[in-house]
Structure 1
Amino acid sequence: MGTWWSLVGQAAWQGLIRLFANPVWYAGWLLVIWELARNVRRERRLFGVRVTRPWRAVRQRFLQAAVTGIIVSVLAAAAGVVVPARVAVAVTAVTVVLGLLRLRFAATLYSASVVALAATVASAFAAGLPAPWAGMARAVAACNPGTCLAVAAAASLAEFILLVWNRRHPGTPAMVWGRRGKGIGCAVSQLCFAVPWLAVAPGGLAWPGLLPPGWPWFGAASLAGAAGAAGTAGFGAMGVPLLVGHAGFWTTRQPGEGMRPVWVYDAVAVVCLAAAAWAVRHGWGAAGWLAPVLALASREAMLWWMARAEAVGDPLFVPVSSGVRVLGVQPGSLAAEVGIRPGEIITHINQVPVHTGYDLYFAFNQNPAYVRLQVVDLRGEPRWAGKPVYEGERHRLGLVLPPDDGVVQAFLRPPGRGGLWQTLYARFTARHPSAREHGQPAAAPPGAVGPHLQGSVAERG
């Protein structure tokens, strides 16, 4: 047993070295940090406060990605997924190329599916090509389609785990220009990850003991081309960064509800891609054609459907006459402690009706020792929430509200269907381009949108 754990430790160290040598690993986390850092600028410009704590969020996501990577590594090894170095290099290269075209295409599901399809096409036509092209086709065909489909299944599994894990993530508040040229509230979700997957690979470490019959069941035919009855094939580990997740603007529903189709898709994709990898491994070559095409087409169809539903739905974060609509809640604040959620409506504070942010601040200061809020929740049902207010808590109610004096700064939502790091494409404008057509006044200069009001009801960053 001691020898076994020693070999596993050596393989894991080998895989980590290869992971840290992969530029996609660093590019993925730099994009995560950049996306979160942009939140701070956006929140300060729109509301005069800071809701996002970038480094805290990065640490949390890194830990979540590490735990998910361990789960995927163990399950993939138990299932017999073997990833040779050439497959990892090919997936990395295609990820870079697709990411240069559009960041959402840098998802490992896309790159692994493209490599699987290319390997299937190359193996089918290599024999009929001239000598120089035939050599290139054979090199591409060497990236076993079954292995590539297993990599895509691993990426879908990692994305499923992380999105379900963060299904209650409220997102961060922002303002976007609506279809009629008016500013409306929204929630921004930025759940993108670079997951460290340590996959079993051919290597120089001696396998201690007999391999199970038929192992590996997915991907490559053997560890080192010599996995016979003796089970002495050499093994190692390959560090593969899995780029997974989803980012986007949500105006008609909460981010967790909006992203439910993504993790449902992932759950189905894991089963279908694993079955296709098994089929390719056992000689059904048609799966190498069908599986990647269906994976890419269904993913695009799902994202198109989500974008369509968001475009035609009724806005959730719109002002109401009965109270004050909550756009965001700062973690650790009084509002978070009493359970206020984005999208809910506060109608009374300490039995005083509120209709604007000024009303809310005035009512909050009427009782120095207790705060009691009447709230209409997301189902339209009223409830009460309250707690004692202690010394030092008077200035951290922690609510982010739409500006009372009108929205003159907001985001143009990026065109497209959402996906990896898509909020990086959002463009901030001082007024909607069609403001003149709608008879709206010219925009105020940046920073003119009542930060004094938001600073009174939310902790200044």
Structure 2
Amino acid sequence: MHKCDTLKGRIVEGDTSMLDDILRSIGIFLGYFLINPLLYIGLFAVYLFSGVRVKQERVSFHTRVYARIADITIPFASAILLGVYVSVLTITLGATITLPFVAVLAIIYILFAITAQVRLISPVYVLGATLLLYGLEPLLAGQALFTTLYNILGQIPIIVPALLLAIMMIAEGVLIRMNGSKYTSPRLARSKRGKWVGMHFAKRLWMVPIVLFIPEGVIPSLSFWPVFTIADMGLQPILVPFLIGFQQKVRGTLPETPIRSMGLRIVGLGILFALIAVGSYYVPVLAVVLGGLAIIAREWLYQSDKKRDAALPAYFSNQAKGCVVLGILPGSPVEKMNIAVGETIVKVNGKEVNNETSFYEALQLNSAFCKLDVLNHEGEVRFAQGALYDGEHHQLGVLLVKEDTNLQDSII
């Protein structure tokens, strides 16, 4: 065989071996992500609350508004994108944990998930509770039940969970502002006066993949697996799914306004807490204070917003003139007409409407075509029109507040 051919063969063989090692390294990296208990805690929580959402939508409208899979797909892209940005920061900081520490976080996540409150499945509460555990060490470390726990926590400097809390709180605020008000779930309920009113529920669980470091040798590595050295210690990157839960009920205004405002306030708190976390490097007790302060502040934001919304008159209710759009069925004719939630339909096929009965009667004037006079959010009238076809679900696909005289459904 020619020497040149032999050399080419060795190069090809070497390239193949290198590619195999790289693929195996990627497989290990993703494999530890896929066996992480936090991922399955998140998926199970989404499975449960998506089922509750669909059931409640059927009670209100005799149909689901969004498929159950929407609770995975709607937050997916924003969670991945933000995970990339946060990972750049955690890599820069060299944030290092241990696998037993991840197990502790998983247990605390489970304890908060048992409450069935999605908003508590969040790093603010989980890492806040973890920091409080650090502060309780003088009281609990001597008890046999907590010996293992404090051996695990003792391997992680307290500034690490403190910084993670601040970073993930900022991330939570960004996600809420960017994605929290999209595809909120409409519902019907009785007001204090016994009238039907509409409201929107925002409920999200983002699974944000974050790159963190663990000491070298804890998991298998190959020659092409990246290993970083900080203070003479080798570190390997792993991918950890952090769960960020959010829920908010809105009845007094359009969903987007208070939800985006909530996101901005959380970002502001996160920046403040980041300063406290940095200060904990010099005064470690500040990290414990941060844990309690973060939980109290986040809970105060939730409760104050809930109280503020309850004090407002219902935005979605029957009016003397026009029908306020409470919701839109995906793929329906009214969605294709670009009708938005919160707009008011004042005329259908040239006939004035003010409730679902008059709406339906006007719709029957032309079973093949529909023309709408719509009052938009700026108070200006615009016109929308579209064809209707036999067999289309509920004909138009607009969700309205139902009347007391008609208890069957509230979908036109």
Query: TM-score normalised by the shorter chain: which range applies?
Result: 0.7 to 0.9
Query: Residues of 2 paired with 1:262 and 1:73: CA distance?
Result: 24
Contact 1:85 1:238 in 2 (8 A): no
Deviations 1:421-460 (A, max 9, x none): xxxxxxxxxxxxxxxxxxxxxxxxxxxx223x63xx2xxx
Contact 1:91 1:108 in 2 (8 A): no
1:108 equivalent to 2:123? Answer: yes
Q: In structure 1, give the amino acid aligned to 2:134.
A: A
Q: In structure 2, give the amino acid aligned to 1:203.
A: E
Shift of 1:9: 7.3
RMSD: 3.5
Task: Name the SS of the counterpart of 2:396 in structure 1.
Answer: coil
Q: Which residue in the other structure is 2:208 paired with?
A: 195
Q: Which residue in the other structure is 1:345 paired with?
A: 344
Contact 1:120 1:141 in 2 (8 A): no
1:38 equivalent to 2:59? Answer: no
- Equivalent position to 1:78, from 92, 117, 141: 92
Query: Residues of 2 paired with 1:330 and 1:90: CA distance?
Result: 42
Shift of 1:21: 2.5
Query: Residues of 2 paired with 1:117 and 1:347: CA distance?
Result: 55
Query: Residues of 2 paired with 1:280 and 1:206: CA distance?
Result: 36
Q: In structure 2, give the amino acid aligned to 1:270.
A: G
Shift of 1:363: 2.2
Task: Name the SS of the counterpart of 1:81 in structure 2.
Answer: coil
Alignment of 1:212-291 (within 5 A): 227-228=230-231, 233-281=233-281, 283-291=282-290
Q: Which residue in the other structure is 2:188 paired with?
A: 175
Query: Residues of 1 paired with 2:26 and 2:320: CA distance?
Result: 59
Q: Which runs of 5+ in 2 are unaligned?
A: 1-14
Query: Residues of 1 paired with 2:22 and 2:273: CA distance?
Result: 27
Task: Name the SS of the counterpart of 1:82 in structure 2.
Answer: coil
Kindly tell me: are residues 233 and 45 of structure 1, through their superposed partners in 2, closer, same or farther at Cα, counting changes over 3 Å?
Answer: same
Q: Which residue in the other structure is 1:419 paired with?
A: none
- Equivalent position to 2:171, from 158, 162, 166: 158
What TM-score, normalized to structure 1?
Answer: 0.73
Q: Which residue in the other structure is 2:317 paired with?
A: 318
Contact 2:101 2:152 in 1 (8 A): no
Q: Which residue in the other structure is 1:98 paired with?
A: 112
Using the TM superposition, name which of 383-392 and 295-304 deviates more: 383-392
Deviations 1:340-363 (A, max 9, x none): 222322111232111222322232
Deviations 1:289-315 (A, max 9, x none): 322222112111111211110221111
Task: Name the SS of the counterpart of 2:75 in structure 1.
Answer: helix
Shift of 1:23: 2.6
Kindly tell me: are residues 253 and 197 of structure 1, through their superposed partners in 2, closer, same or farther at Cα, counting changes over 3 Å?
Answer: same
Task: Name the SS of the counterpart of 1:54 in structure 2.
Answer: coil
Task: Name the SS of the counterpart of 1:259 in structure 2.
Answer: helix
Q: Which residue in the other structure is 2:384 paired with?
A: 386
Contact 1:326 1:345 in 2 (8 A): yes
Task: Name the SS of the counterpart of 2:317 in structure 1.
Answer: coil
Query: Residues of 2 paired with 1:129 and 1:95: CA distance?
Result: 22
Contact 1:339 1:385 in 2 (8 A): no
Q: Which residue in the other structure is 2:9 paired with?
A: none
Q: In structure 1, give the amino acid aligned to 2:247.
A: A
Query: Residues of 2 paired with 1:53 and 1:327: CA distance?
Result: 18
Shift of 1:391: 5.2
| Greater RCO, 1 or 2 (C-alpha within 8 Å, sep 6+) | 1
Query: Residues of 1 paired with 2:286 and 2:33: CA distance?
Result: 29
Contact 2:209 2:242 in 1 (8 A): yes
Shift of 1:397: 1.6
Q: Which residue in the other structure is 1:421 paired with?
A: none
Q: Which runs of 5+ in 1 are unaligned?
A: 212-222, 408-448
Shift of 1:98: 3.0
Task: Name the SS of the counterpart of 2:230 in structure 1.
Answer: coil
Q: Which residue in the other structure is 1:55 paired with?
A: 69
Task: Name the SS of the counterpart of 2:320 in structure 1.
Answer: coil
Deviations 1:68-96 (A, max 9, x none): 32332233213332233243222222222
Q: In structure 1, give the amino acid aligned to 2:327.
A: G
Deviations 1:310-348 (A, max 9, x none): 221111111101122221111222222333222322111
Deviations 1:41-88 (A, max 9, x none): 223332223311222442333343333323322332133322332432
Q: In structure 2, give the amino acid aligned to 1:76.
A: T
Identity level (%):
20
Contact 2:327 2:398 in 1 (8 A): yes
Shift of 1:392: 5.8
Kindly tell me: are residues 44 and 389 of structure 1, through their superposed partners in 2, closer, same or farther at Cα, counting changes over 3 Å?
Answer: same
What TM-score, normalized to structure 2?
Answer: 0.81
What is the aligned residue count?
390
